[in-house]
Amino acid sequence: MSSDADPARLVDGLGTRWALAETSFKYHASCRHTHPAADALLAVMRAHDLRADDIAEVQTHVHQGAIDVLGPVLDPGTVHQSRFSMGSVLALVARFGQAGLAEFDGHFRDDATRDFRDRVHMALDAEVDAAYPRRWIGKVTVRMRDGRVLDGRVDEPKGDPGNTLSRDEITGKALRLAAFSGGADEAGMRDAIGALWRMVTLAKVGPLLGARA
């Protein structure tokens, strides 16, 4: 900080921009490049009441960065690698409605997951590529076993500031993470989460931190 900075100007500037409101919550436990396509696929499946077995092929329309990062991961051998596999992520999303830690840990090498994975492809899309990284557009073309072709699109992935998680979704994610890690039981987590949601009513956060220390 410059020694001749105006303290009054610094104080006046506080609170004019809240970075927390610009923060994304990761809805899927996978590489960020997979999220737009995963959400677009979920949108198609929910709109048409589809199951994973109904789908013959998924074409994802992506930016170049997604191809660069995800393209080399063709047959992931570890859970970590599978989180950088577009096909694995979309397979889990199609099968379970989400790609969380438990889904990756328990199912990334299932025959059904691998079969679906191999029917997912990426293609460079001019619109998506031009928008990135300012916008993370998700577009998919879903080819059905009955011959139909369905298109899906999201203009902002779930969890981004303009499409943020609800309180119930944040709470649900926290409970799933605690259950997966074994770090706390459900009752203890619900108590902690409830206290955090009430934090806005506290004059000081010290008592809250002390209670959880």
Contact (CB, 8 A) for 153 and 139: yes
Indicate the pTM of the whole model: 0.84
**What is the per-residue pLDDT for 142?**
98
**What is the per-residue pLDDT for 2?**
42
Between 198 and 95, the more confident residue is 95
CATH architecture of 32-163: 2-Layer Sandwich (3.30)
pLDDT of 30 above 90: yes
Q: What is the mean pLDDT of the chain?
A: 90
CATH 3.30.1330.120 boundaries in the chain: 32-163
pLDDT of 211 above 60: no
Residue 189 CA, chain-centre distance (Å), reads: 22
pLDDT of 133 above 80: yes
Between 165 and 207, the more confident residue is 165
Among residues of the chain, what percentage have pLDDT more than 70? Answer: 90
3-state helix, strand and coil shares in percent for the chain, rounded to the nearest 5: 55, 10, 35
Closest CA to 30 of 169, 161, 157: 157
* Omega before 133 within 30 of 0, i.e. cis: yes
**What is the per-residue pLDDT for 13?**
56
Residue 148 structure tokens:
């139909």
Among residues of the chain, what percentage have pLDDT more than 90? Answer: 77
What is the rounded CA–CA span in Å between residue 136 and residue 150? Answer: 20
pLDDT band at 213 (very low <50, low <70, confident <90, very high): very low
Largest CA distance in the chain: 72
* Omega before 157 within 30 of 0, i.e. cis: no
What is the rounded CA–CA span in Å between residue 186 and residue 176? Answer: 9
**What is the per-residue pLDDT for 1?**
40
